[in-house]
């Protein structure tokens, strides 16, 4: 998992510790996947080197993939638990995403679509899958885990 993020720290939150993780889990009502926390322990959110994810269905972004702008961390302005209006609960309320879990990515569309940890089949303490939410607000599973999501990410040049 080395070198996941680019050098830019624009979307990076404060130093991650157990207290910050616990507060986020308590405020959001979900246990965060270990693979997600492990990535955030390297850098608490940021712009990944590989930002595109292949899909087997067309999206509002492209016929065969989606692109993310950043992976959200914990705390700070861009954190999943942020009260700045950019946290997951605010994004769900503002954009009408299904209440299945946590919005974990910043998208180039500015909110028209989303990537979420999907707890709908496992409950708040289980290992969530990763879902893509397009403009129709129907969750589409794109990975069985956050780890799989990261492993399947590709450089966007792959699709040009």
CATH of 18-159, one of 3.40.1580, 3.30.1240, 2.60.90, 3.40.1130: 3.40.1580
101-125 confidence digits (pLDDT tens): 999 999 999 889 999 999 999 999 9
3-class SS shares of the chain: helix, strand, coil, % to 5: 25, 20, 55
Q: What is the Cα–Cα distance from 140 to 4, expressed in whole angstroms?
A: 24
Question: Model confidence at 2, in pLDDT bands (50, 70, 90)?
Answer: low
- Helices of type H across the chain: 18-28, 34-42, 88-95, 146-152
Nearest to 128 by CA among 95, 104, 96, 153: 104
The mean pLDDT of 9-20, rounded to a whole number, is 95
pLDDT tens track for 58-107: 999 999 999 999 999 999 999 999 998 899 999 999 999 999 999 999 99
pLDDT band at 1 (very low <50, low <70, confident <90, very high): very low
Q: Whole-prediction pTM value?
A: 0.95
Structure tokens at 87: 């946290």
Are 120 and 113 contacting, i.e. CB atoms less than 8 angstroms apart? no
Alpha carbon distance 63, 66 (integer Å) = 9
pLDDT mean across residues, the chain: 95
User: What are 109's two structure tokens?
Assistant: 């569309």
């Amino acid at each position: 998992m080395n070198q996941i993020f680019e050098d830019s720290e624009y979307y990076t939150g404060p130093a991650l510790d157990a207290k910050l993780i616990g507060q986020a889990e308590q405020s959001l009502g979900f246990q965060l996947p270990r693979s997600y926390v492990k990535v955030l322990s390297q850098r608490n959110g940021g712009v990944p080197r590989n930002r595109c994810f292949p899909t087997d269905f067309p999206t509002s972004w492209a016929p065969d993939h989606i692109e993310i702008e950043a992976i959200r961390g914990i705390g700070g302005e861009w954190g999943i638990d942020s009260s700045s209006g950019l946290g997951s609960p605010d994004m769900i309320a503002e954009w009408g995403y299904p209440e299945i879990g946590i919005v974990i990515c910043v998208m180039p569309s500015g909110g028209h679509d989303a990537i979420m940890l999907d707890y709908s089949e496992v409950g708040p303490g289980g290992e969530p899958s990763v879902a893509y939410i397009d403009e129709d607000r129907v969750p589409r599973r794109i990975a069985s885990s956050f780890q799989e999501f990261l492993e399947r990410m590709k450089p966007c040049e792959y699709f040009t």
